[in-house]
Amino acid sequence: MFPSEDDAFEGDFMRIAPRNIGDYLPVGRRTAVGVVLSTFALVLLIVTALVLSALSQVREKANLLDNARSRETTAGALVTFREQLGATLNDYAAWDDAAEYVYAPDRFDWVASNYGEMTVNNDLFDTAVIIDEDDKVRMAYQNGKPATWRPDAYFAGGLKEMIDRVRSMRPGITSQVTGFVKTGDGIAAAGVALVRLKSGALPPVDAERRYLVFARHFKQATVDKLARNYVIEGLELQYGDGPAANHVDIVNPLGEVLARLVWRSHLPGDVSFHEARPVVFTALGIAGTFFLVLLIIGSATLDRLKADEAAAREEALRDRLSGLSNRAGLFAKLNRMVDNGRHDKTDIKLLYLDLDGFKEINDSYGHAAGDRLIKGVAAALRVLVPEGAVLARLGGDEFAIAIQGNDVWSEGRKLCLALLELFTEPFSIGERVASIGCSIGTSVSRAGDINGEELLRRADMAMYQAKENGRGRYVSYELKMDALREEKLQLEADLRSAILNDEIQVVYQPVVSAATRCITGVEALARWQRPGYGFVPPDIFIAAAETSGLIDRLGLLVLHKACETAQQWPSIKLSVNISPVQFRNPAFSGHIADILDATQTPPERLRLEMTEGYFIQHPERASAAIDKLKQLGLHIALDDFGAGFASVGYLRRFGFDRMKIDRSLIMALDKGGRSLEMLQATVALAKSLDIPVTAEGVETEEQAAILHLCGCDELQGYLFSRPVAAEEITDMLDGQDAPLFALRAGA
């Protein structure tokens, strides 16, 4: 048989190729293979080393980034802790009442109540000290009790330097210094401030200066709270200079290290490295896969760190309570909108919202209810604002909405109307229902012509104008508002000066018997002749006093003058109007008692007149305040009845001693219609409750006759006399044998 081609090929091949190929490979080929294998192994080792080195660098970078974030956060927490004390110190030091009572020689009770006793269980400060220009301690309290130590012994280095710095400052709004100091109880944030008026000026007390010192101790409980709030693991307060890789020093004003905050590093890089290592070692034989895995792991780590940083930046720009942007977040977005507006020629409209009545809800139901209300309002605003708008909470009960486009005027007006409509409905806060309003100010940046800060300032000014115009409305910014604002501030400054310099005059309008026309009392009315401007209408300067915090001083000044003057008229009553702002002051009844005692005025001669609005809005507090006043023996009159919505239930509840009919009901008599029936019904209602009635604003004899027939027992108005000086009242009383109107007619 002849072999096949395959058999022949196999035979030839077997002759050419030996059974063990390796035995016949030349030495150079083996070396080459070894070199290749060694080279490959060396490459693998180098690649492995490079990979491990890269992973190590990533790990260290991640750890460094995390440590840097923790260090910045911890340092920021210290700054926030100190600045919170500084803000609290400013509120308590730049305070008109404090400027009056701290410098008063006999008002330690007020100082102890408003400073010393506030140190107990207070998260803002636990130590309060008042010293004078000679370093004499006027008051020292800690944790609600008088301190047993001397400040110079209790506070270590740093406090004296802060006091000297404040003393070297000129009196002003920023006359204060804060810093960290060491005390007998540890480390504390401390601040020193000059006690001054809210405007920054000193009260006229012979240039004497007194200084308020607050301290808030930095205890472990405080450190734990910072750790929770800022997510810093293992944050501790450490004294001495022991080993600590991660720390932030707490330094006093002298530059001395008092202690330091230390924490444990999260070491996110180590965590990532340990997670990736099994995968890396498994893939050592496959270089490409190894590099791919390394790339994925490295990218994931960096992405995670970047995401954490982005989340931290986002959190810093967000309000924690409402979840909306905070003030810093609003400015960041506003500035971007302004830049875009300059580029694409679009307008930006900013709406500044302030909740009307929120403070009363907060005071009546507590801060928890107020927080729930803020969350509810934020949720409602999210639904209402258009897509693409910026919504922020600026703090407290203030919100802002920014929209951008080519027709922001129309869109802004519609949004304002929708917002006002929203607040006509009550909000549910747990088991309660809260009715609040909203005042809105708006401003516009045309094609980005003004920056975000100015845009907010203008909207804020317009919002306050909306409040002054009656609340529950929106007002757009106008350039004249700046001038009006300056005028208002100057008016308030002049009024403050007038009160301090005793330039407020008091005039008196007689109240006569409807039957005999003889004087039965007088109503004291404030008058102000403003230098350079002339007579200022009472409704103007009284409103300015209410908004600027001067109403308590003004009201008590008028009351004191009236009580002193009324001593010469022992047979008649004295009526004085009381502002709702005065009525809300818990110390009001005490001030009244002091004036009655100082002027030797029998309380039964004094009648306080109040409008019905406050009683309806705050019945519980109003009832308690009236009870205190009645315990003094005073009479309470309901003023302007018929102009509001007081019900029979309120009249019964508060037990008014007299009702004064609003002049609008009397003026309506001249217009006919059913005005007489309304007047008769009003007087009949009062009579049914045994409340005597005074009619004010009487200008004609016909009105006086009708009011007498309807049942009014006292009358007041220009028919009998305008408000006059005390001397004229004395002359009228001297001629009391004849009815007042007859005397005037014959004069």
Predicted confidence at residue 37, as pLDDT, reads 55
Tell me which of 64-68, 163-167, 311-315, 641-645 is least confident.
641-645
pLDDT tens digits, 719-729: 999 999 999 99
Predicted confidence at residue 313, as pLDDT, reads 76
Within 10 Å of residue 530's Cβ, how many Cβ atoms? 16
Quick check: 129 pLDDT over 90?
yes
Q: Is 647 exposed, middle or buried (0-12, 13-18, 19+ CB in 10 A)?
A: exposed
The whole-angstrom separation of Cα 217 and Cα 127 is 8
Per-residue DSSP letter, 567 = G
Q: Helix (H) and strand (E) counts for the chain? A: 28, 25
Predicted confidence at residue 738, as pLDDT, reads 52
For residue 695, CA distances in Å to 67, 160, 612, 650 come to 76, 64, 16, 20
Three-state SS for 566?
helix
Question: Amino acid identity, residue 461?
Answer: M
Predicted confidence at residue 359, as pLDDT, reads 84
Phi-psi region of 56 (alpha: psi -120 to 50; beta: other; left: phi over 0): alpha
Residue 669: phi and psi, rounded to 5, are: -60, -35
pLDDT tens digits, 432-451: 888 899 999 999 999 999 99
Q: Span 335-353, mean pLDDT?
A: 94
Specify the higher pLDDT residue, 560 or 358: 560
Which of the given ranges, 581-585, 651-655, 698-702, 742-746, has the highest pLDDT on average?
Answer: 698-702
Quick check: 11 pLDDT over 60?
no
Residues ≥6 apart with Cβ < 8 Å to 747: none
State the DSSP H helix or E strand holding residue 435, giving kind and residue range, or none if neither: none
Q: Span 660-675, mean pLDDT?
A: 82
Tell me which of 17-31, 399-413, 603-617, 697-711 is least confident.
17-31
Predicted confidence at residue 498, as pLDDT, reads 95
Which of the given ranges, 156-160, 317-321, 551-555, has the highest pLDDT on average?
Answer: 551-555
Quick check: 27 pLDDT over 60?
no
Domains and CATH numbers, the chain: 73-262 (3.30.450.20), 327-478 (3.30.70.270), 501-746 (3.20.20.450)
Q: How many CA atoms lie within 13 A of 121 on its CB side?
A: 0
Predicted confidence at residue 284, as pLDDT, reads 63
With beta carbons less than 8 A apart as the criterion, state whether 310 and 374 touch. Answer: no
Quick check: 360 pLDDT over 60?
yes
Quick check: 29 pLDDT over 90?
no
Beta strands in 252-340 (DSSP E): 257-262
For residue 318, CA distances in Å to 312, 333, 395, 460, 689 come to 10, 12, 11, 21, 56
What pairs with residue 237 in β-bridges? 261
pLDDT tens digits, 485-506: 888 889 999 999 999 999 999 9
Residue 275: phi and psi, rounded to 5, are: -70, -35
24: pLDDT confidence band, cut at 50, 70 and 90? very low
Three-state SS for 584?
coil
620: pLDDT confidence band, cut at 50, 70 and 90? confident
Quick check: 547 pLDDT over 90?
no
Number of residues that this document lists for the chain: 747
Quick check: 557 pLDDT over 90?
yes
Residues ≥6 apart with Cβ < 8 Å to 486: none
Predicted confidence at residue 639, as pLDDT, reads 87
Residues ≥6 apart with Cβ < 8 Å to 205: 103
Which of the given ranges, 203-207, 316-320, 403-407, has the highest pLDDT on average?
Answer: 403-407
- Global pTM? 0.51
Quick check: 128 pLDDT over 90?
yes
What pairs with residue 429 in β-bridges? 432
Give the closest residue to 363 by CA, choosing from 92, 27, 617: 617
Residues ≥6 apart with Cβ < 8 Å to 438: 353, 354, 355, 356, 419, 420, 422, 423, 472
Predicted confidence at residue 10, as pLDDT, reads 43
180: pLDDT confidence band, cut at 50, 70 and 90? very high
State the DSSP H helix or E strand holding residue 733, giving kind and residue range, or none if neither: helix 726-734
Predicted confidence at residue 743, as pLDDT, reads 44
Tell me which of 333-342, 557-566, 582-591 is least confident.
582-591
Predicted confidence at residue 279, as pLDDT, reads 80
Predicted confidence at residue 433, as pLDDT, reads 86
Residue 412 Cα to chain centre, angstroms: 26
Predicted confidence at residue 44, as pLDDT, reads 63
Three-state SS for 215?
strand
Task: State the chain's mean pLDDT as an integer.
Answer: 85
Question: Which two structure tokens, joined as six digits, stand for 270?
Answer: 């180590």
Question: Which two structure tokens, joined as six digits, stand for 368?
Answer: 């928890």
232: pLDDT confidence band, cut at 50, 70 and 90? confident
Predicted confidence at residue 152, as pLDDT, reads 85
Quick check: 50 pLDDT over 80?
no
